[in-house]
A and B are shown apart, each in its own frame.
Chain A
Amino acid sequence: MESIYWPSFFFLLFAALACGFAVAVLLATNIVRMAFYLVLSLASTSGLFFLAGADFVGAMQLMIYVGGTLVLLIFGVMLTSQERFVEMKTMAGDWVLGFIAGSALLATLAWVAFSVPEWRGIDRAAAEELEVEATVAPLAMGLLGARTDGGSEQGYLLFFEVVSVHLLVVLVGAAYLARAKMKRGTAEERTTQVEPGAALPN
């Protein structure tokens, strides 16, 4: 009996957590619980990234996704969680159709993944000889357009700039879309037309 290969053990752990909570997101009807399960699923995914040697991407997954995007989503849940929206049932016919289509898609994807022999892993002796490298510096150089890892010569400077401008546009657009509606008229009209004793307008 060979000893346990610990990276595989942790892969199984994080994979089970990620898949299990993803299924929980799908099956839960309470929107608050869905948000919580999604947090756990994405956090376990970052563990998978660390195991695959992508340390910087795993950290970014934790910071941007779990720390940023999901907080945004949870704010949305809190702002819209009235009594009748917390639990919204799906019709049974939708479930049946969805599960037929979903299991067919899953079976196809799994069959494709395991049909290529090179994708089934390397043997243990070769794996233990591999040196672990930090990826932060090569990633930063790639984003600045100077690849040091022998990839394509151009790097990703243009994409980096496009993403930066895109984020700026998205922030302005989101602020514009979500702004509170002001009543028309000047400030004086809005304040003087309230009758004495009437409730303040929200």
Chain B
Amino acid sequence: MSSLPLAHLLNEPVGVAHFMLVGAVMFVCGALCMATKRNALGVLMGIELVLNGANINFIAFGSKYLRNDANTLGLDGQLMSLFVIVLAAAEAAVALAIVLNFYNNHDSVDVDRAEQLQG
């Protein structure tokens, strides 16, 4: 029954696909957070989740411990995820400044009320 992906999960090493599944769950949760939350900070947290889901995929594809072949991303995957972490930190700083500005001007963090740029 080794063709089943979930068989022998505790006795055999996990592979890239299992990490990708975790990444997919975090990505989908983040995307739904971005779509459904009305609090601007909730949307920001959704973005963080999406970036982390992508990071898990980078790490998994770059790891030689998860694959048979040496044809991995290698260190490139880890460097990419480092850049993603840095960009996420920068994006959080700017987005937080914008949210605070919006809160000071409108007394609200409801993204539905942010319609000043509407044509």
Contact = CB atoms under 8 A, between A and B. Distances in A.
Interface of A: 2-5, 7-9, 11-12, 15, 18-19, 22-23, 25-26, 31, 34-35, 38, 41-42, 45, 48-49, 52-54, 56-57, 60-61, 64-65, 68-70, 72-73, 75-77, 79-80, 85, 88-90, 94-95, 98-99, 101-103, 105-106, 109-110, 112-114, 116, 118-124, 126-127, 130, 132, 135, 138-139, 142-143, 147, 149-152, 156, 159, 163, 166-167, 170-171, 173-175, 177-178, 181
Interface of B: 5, 8-22, 24-33, 35-39, 41-42, 44-46, 48-49, 52, 55-56, 59-60, 62-69, 74-79, 81-83, 85-90, 92-94, 96-101, 103-104, 108-110
B66 A8 contact: no
Contacts of B76: 151-152
Given A2-B11, A8-B11, A52-B66, A19 B20 contact: no
A64 B61 CA distance: 22
Nearest to B20: A113
Contacts of A121: 12-18, 66
The 5 A-B pairs with the shortest beta carbon distances in the complex, nearest first, are: A121-B15, A109-B24, A177-B97, A113-B20, A178-B97
A125 to B, nearest CB: 10
Given A25-B29, A110-B24, A57 B41 contact: no
A76 B103 CA distance: 10
A34 B45 contact: yes
A98 B10 contact: no
B24 A113 contact: yes
A41 B49 contact: yes
Contacts of A70: 48
Contacts of B45: 25, 34-35, 38, 73
Given A118-B69, A177-B98, A105 B28 contact: yes
14 contacts: A45-B26, A52-B62, A53-B64, A54-B78, A60-B82, A69-B88, A85-B108, A85-B109, A90-B37, A112-B20, A119-B16, A119-B67, A123-B12, A166-B87
Given A80-B99, A80-B109, A139-B75, A61 B85 contact: yes
Given A31-B41, A159-B83, A174 B97 contact: yes
Contact of B63 (A35, A53, A142, A149): A53
A8 B14 contact: yes
Contacts of A2: 8, 11
